[in-house]
């Protein structure tokens, strides 16, 4: 049961990506950007992959499910922020 719960928690964000893509493409989710709203999926997919890899990296730890889930989410957010800041600094320096 523990295995199924952790696998579901790890794969759910990645499996929800096509659903969000459909909802955005059909304008059920509207962020006011028109077709540019689909660009929201890029950080979502990246975060989902980072969440999956950080969750797999923390799999063998003996921490509880809630702490494991929180650490996986925080690690993936931190890495996504570092990537975003490095791209921002690169774009400022390059111009």
The answer on pLDDT for 2 being more than 80 is: yes
pTM, entire model = 0.85
pLDDT band with cut points at 50, 70 and 90 for residue 62: confident
Q: What does the alpha-carbon distance between residue 57 and residue 89 come to, in Å, rounded to a whole number?
A: 29
Q: 77 with 90: CB under 8 angstroms?
A: no
The H helix count followed by the E strand count for the chain is 4, 0
What's the pLDDT tens digit per position in 19-32?
999 998 888 888 88
Q: Quote the CA–CA distance of 42 and 84 in Å, as a whole number.
A: 12
56/70 Cα distance (integer angstroms): 13
**How long, in residues, is the chain?**
95
């Amino acid at each position: 049961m523990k295995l199924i719960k952790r696998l579901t928690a790890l794969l759910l964000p990645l499996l929800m990506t096509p659903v969000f893509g459909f909802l955005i493409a059909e304008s059920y989710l509207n962020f006011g950007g028109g077709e540019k709203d689909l660009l929201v999926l890029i950080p979502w997919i990246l975060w989902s992959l980072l969440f999956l890899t950080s969750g797999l990296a923390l799999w063998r730890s003996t921490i509880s499910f809630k702490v494991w889930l929180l650490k996986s989410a925080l690690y993936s957010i931190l890495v996504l922020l570092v990537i975003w800041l490095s791209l921002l600094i690169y774009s400022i320096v390059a111009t």
